[in-house]
């Protein structure tokens, strides 16, 4: 599609260099695709998702997919990740919670690929994909990115398109490998998605550094990793959180804007031009209500759902 080609070309130009950081003038707000609430209807436990160490053999079976329908009004959905897995799964720092899956009325679901930090897969992603498939709703993917420790930089710093002899280049290569890991995880779970949303936020137990330029180098590499793998990308978060982590890094990519524990009305207000995260247009707004992450399309989005979702 011409529109998607233009976006990918623009991204390729942006990803060629890392811009200077700038300070946020907005008070930080907390927002995350993983709410805390009493579990009521978790996805059934079948098996754990194991991210392969290499790209899996392509499945020649043609999936039962179709283009998402266009709509003239708002479209409502949800998002899930490791907190919605059955209790007790995952890494020690991020044990799954058995939180409820999206409402039955949801028309789309955005699925998280990680178990909190990068290089750790959502332990029940395949079962969540099956949940979506059985309900014939639209689906897409998002991935949390996190600051790498010294061991991770040593392992991946020279593996990628950047000059690993420099600190920033090595960090960008780590971000690049984070995204390739996420792509393998997504494909292994059988989740097709036209876009992958970059989730840039504070990750408990895996904090970002105080060096905004270094943080931005990781995200810059992550963005290039997804684009090189053939995916469109978008940014999730808030203005304050984004700028507090990566400073003035801008891609001009579509935005999924978070409002936190609030209301649909407040979430829709985030679609406005005064809530820009990194220079892109608003696509989806998110709020947390009754223990679920709720989402709604921003004005003008619903007529192009094929750009953001795969229809099961």
User: What pLDDT tens digit does each residue of the chain (312 aa) get?
Assistant: 444 444 444 445 445 444 433 333 333 333 445 433 333 444 554 545 444 444 444 443 445 566 677 677 999 999 999 999 999 999 999 999 999 999 999 999 999 999 999 999 999 999 999 999 999 999 999 999 999 999 999 999 999 999 999 999 999 999 999 999 999 999 999 999 999 999 999 999 999 999 999 999 999 999 999 999 999 999 999 999 999 999 999 999 999 999 999 999 999 999 999 999 999 999 999 999 999 999 999 999 999 999 999 999
Is the pTM for the entire model greater than 0.85?
A: no
The CATH number given to whatever domain includes residue 282 is: 3.20.20.80
Other Cβ atoms less than 10 A from the Cβ of 73: the count is 8
Q: Residue 41 and residue 99: Cα distance in Å, rounded?
A: 7
Q: Structural domain tally of the chain?
A: 1
In a domain, 44, yes or no: yes
Q: Residue 174 and residue 267: Cα distance in Å, rounded?
A: 33
Range of the domain at 301: 2-16+34-311
In a domain, 227, yes or no: yes
């Amino acid at each position: 599609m011409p529109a998607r080609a233009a976006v990918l070309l623009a991204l390729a130009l942006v990803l060629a260099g890392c811009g200077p950081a700038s300070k946020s003038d907005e008070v930080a707000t907390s927002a995350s695709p993983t709410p805390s609430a009493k579990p009521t209807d978790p996805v059934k436990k079948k098996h754990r998702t194991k991210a392969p160490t290499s790209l899996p053999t392509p499945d020649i079976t043609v999936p039962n997919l179709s283009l998402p329908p266009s709509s003239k009004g708002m479209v409502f959905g949800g998002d899930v990740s490791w907190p919605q897995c059955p209790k007790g799964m995952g890494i020690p720092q991020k044990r799954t919670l058995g939180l409820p899956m999206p409402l039955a009325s949801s028309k789309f679901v955005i699925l998280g690929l990680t178990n909190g930090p990068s290089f750790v897969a959502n332990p029940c992603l395949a079962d969540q994909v099956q949940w979506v498939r059985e309900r014939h709703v639209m689906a897409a993917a998002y991935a949390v990115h996190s600051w790498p420790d010294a061991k991770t930089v040593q392992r991946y710093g020279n593996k990628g398109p950047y000059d690993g002899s420099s600190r920033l280049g090595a960090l960008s290569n780590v971000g690049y490998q984070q995204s390739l890991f996420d792509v393998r995880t997504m494909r292994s779970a059988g989740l097709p998605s036209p876009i992958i949303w970059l989730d840039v936020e504070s990750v408990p137990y895996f904090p970002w550094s105080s060096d905004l330029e270094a943080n931005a180098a990781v995200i810059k590499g992550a963005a290039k990793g997804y684009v090189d793998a053939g995916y469109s990308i978008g940014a999730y978060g808030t203005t304050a959180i984004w700028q507090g982590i990566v400073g003035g890094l801008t891609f001009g990519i579509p935005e999924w804007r978070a409002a936190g524990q609030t209301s649909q009305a407040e979430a829709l207000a985030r679609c406005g031009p005064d809530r820009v995260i990194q220079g892109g247009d608003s696509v989806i707004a998110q709020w947390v209500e009754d223990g679920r992450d709720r989402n709604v399309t921003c004005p003008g989005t619903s007529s192009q759902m094929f750009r953001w979702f795969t229809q099961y």
